[in-house]
């Protein structure tokens, strides 16, 4: 291995002992993490007793300990990171008895979620899809906030209705019901994504309704009132008020994690009402024997539901788009469900990404999923 092919941090080690200005220049030059081929080197600088990288990548040790370089205050660890990977992480330190966890102070790149923010390590080959960023040329759809009176949920349920640019009552639109709707808008830039994909003719103009939960762990794992609200109250209300294509093929339920379970369980309770599902890292945890699923009490209703579905699988929609990150624990259940869905006759498009259980992963997969479920009018346009 030539000097240029050796890792930067190893070349730095050859210059021990390190003084402050040398470390300053190194950090300034390389930043953090340092991506070299399919390797990522994480750095931490500080007067501490121990440092770890905390992440949720299945297959890598978590916590991932850093080692001090010589007698300096610079710590590092290098790990393999295959091309196209994207990892969210934090730094944890120990100083005496004091532990602290925070975003990487040497890395300005952050991802956000309802749980807070994380630092992002993007491997070589990872690109944020170009349709994620605001495009001034893309015509803007509109979001309308509403309260829907729900007998099923015994409350007023807030929703946000997305109407595509150039919305025209003389046209008819498919309907997309989005679980965790507020989070999809805030953390997956879904309005911008819809605007851009429609503008690029990648997807048909559609109406989307973004529905947030109130008590997510109760309402999303196979909850009859939630399903009744979506199927018997929300969809009929929107079909009555908006120019929607009134066929199952034009109705899609989508969600991530527990929202994926909510989508599937609603379709199971109302088979034939919806034509498709878009499931992202769905929490489709099951057991083949016994009930020791390891997911904690929140997963009990999920496992009951998925086990029952696996015992008697049925075609509840025509098509399912599924995606999952290979670095998340749910990769095995998701892979396992693909043949179960397919054996019912449902058409399944399944994609994996080198990413984890997070909103930017779900955002990045929206292009593939939505364009498969709602193919755009590219074939009609010849500029």
Partner 1 sequence: MSTTILLGPQRFTTTVGSTVRALGVTGRIAMVNSGWEERESDDAELAGHLDGRGVNLRLHHRMMDVLSKDEHFAAAARAFRDRMDELRTFYGIRLQAAIDAVQAVAHRTSIHAVGPIAEESAMEAVREVDRWYAAELDELYRSVRATAPPDESGTIGWHRGEIGAVLDECEAVVIAGGNVRTLLWTLRVFDVELRPEQSVVAWSAGAMALTDEVVLFHDFAPQGVTAAELHDRGLGRLPGIVALPHAKRRLQLDDHERMSVLARRFAEHRLLLLDDGAVVRFPDGATDLPAGARVLDRTGHVTVVGAA
Residues of this chain that bind partner 1 (CB under 8 A): 166, 170-172, 202, 249, 367-368, 371-372, 375-383
Taking the complex as a whole, the smallest distance from the CB of residue 367 to partner 1 amounts, in Å, to: 8
Give, in order, the Cα–Cα distances in Å from 121 to each of 30, 76, 108, 147, 288. Answer: 14, 15, 10, 39, 36
Taking the complex as a whole, the smallest distance from the CB of residue 247 to partner 1 amounts, in Å, to: 9
Q: Whose Cβ is closer to partner 1: residue 291's or residue 380's?
A: 380
Taking the complex as a whole, the smallest distance from the CB of residue 131 to partner 1 amounts, in Å, to: 11
Q: Whose Cβ is closer to partner 1: residue 30's or residue 372's?
A: 372
Q: Whose Cβ is closer to partner 1: residue 111's or residue 250's?
A: 250
> What is the C-alpha to C-alpha distance for residues 111 and 102, in angstroms, rounded to an integer?
13
> What is the C-alpha to C-alpha distance for residues 68 and 56, in angstroms, rounded to an integer?
23
Q: Whose Cβ is closer to partner 1: residue 166's or residue 308's?
A: 166
Task: Give kind and range of the element (H or E) at residue 244.
Answer: none
Phi and psi, residue 251, nearest 5°: -120, 130
Half-sphere exposure of 307 (CA within 13 A, CB side): 14
Nearest alpha-carbon partner for 38 in 99, 96, 84, 102: 84
Nearest alpha-carbon partner for 33 in 71, 76, 84: 76
> What is the C-alpha to C-alpha distance for residues 299 and 294, in angstroms, rounded to an integer?
8
| 3-class state of residue 340 by DSSP | helix
Q: Whose Cβ is closer to partner 1: residue 128's or residue 224's?
A: 128
> What is the C-alpha to C-alpha distance for residues 285 and 260, in angstroms, rounded to an integer?
11
Taking the complex as a whole, the smallest distance from the CB of residue 324 to partner 1 amounts, in Å, to: 19
Q: Whose Cβ is closer to partner 1: residue 37's or residue 375's?
A: 375
């Amino acid at each position: 291995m030539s000097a240029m092919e050796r890792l930067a941090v190893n070349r730095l080690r050859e210059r021990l002992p390190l003084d402050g200005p040398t470390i300053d220049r190194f950090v300034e030059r390389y930043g953090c993490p340092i991506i070299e081929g399919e390797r990522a080197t994480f750095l931490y600088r500080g007067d501490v007793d121990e440092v770890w990288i905390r992440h949720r990548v299945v297959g890598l040790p978590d916590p991932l300990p850093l080692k001090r370089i010589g007698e300096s205050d610079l710590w590092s660890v290098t790990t393999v990171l295959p091309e196209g990977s994207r990892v969210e992480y934090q730094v944890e330190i120990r100083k005496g008895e004091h532990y602290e966890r925070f975003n990487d102070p040497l890395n300005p790149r952050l991802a956000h979620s309802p749980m807070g923010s994380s630092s992002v390590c993007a491997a070589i080959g990872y690109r944020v899809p170009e349709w994620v960023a605001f495009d001034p040329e893309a015509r803007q759809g509109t979001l309308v906030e509403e309260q829907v009176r729900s007998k099923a949920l015994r409350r007023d349920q807030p929703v946000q209705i997305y109407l595509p640019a150039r919305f025209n009552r003389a046209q008819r639109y498919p309907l997309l019901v989005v679980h965790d709707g507020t989070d999809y808008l805030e953390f997956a830039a879904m309005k911008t994504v819809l605007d851009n994909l429609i503008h690029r003719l990648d997807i048909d103009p559609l109406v989307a309704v973004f529905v947030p939960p109130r008590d997510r762990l109760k309402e999303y794992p196979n909850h009859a009132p939630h399903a009744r609200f979506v199927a018997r109250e929300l969809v009929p209300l929107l079909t009555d008020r908006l120019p929607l294509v009134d066929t199952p093929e034009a109705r899609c339920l989508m969600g991530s994690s527990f929202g994926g379970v909510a989508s599937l369980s609603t379709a199971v309770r109302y088979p034939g009402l919806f034509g498709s599902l878009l499931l992202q890292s769905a929490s489709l945890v099951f057991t083949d024997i016994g009930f020791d699923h390891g997911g904690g009490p929140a997963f009990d209703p999920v496992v009951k539901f998925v086990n029952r579905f696996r015992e008697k699988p049925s075609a509840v929609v025509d098509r399912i788009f599924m995606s999952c990150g290979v670095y998340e624990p749910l990769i095995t259940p998701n892979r396992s469900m693909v043949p179960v869905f397919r054996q019912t006759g449902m058409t399944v498009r399944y994609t994996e990404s080198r990413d984890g259980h997070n909103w930017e992963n779900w955002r990045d997969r929206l292009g593939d999923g939505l364009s498969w479920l709602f193919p755009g009018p590219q074939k009609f346009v010849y500029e």
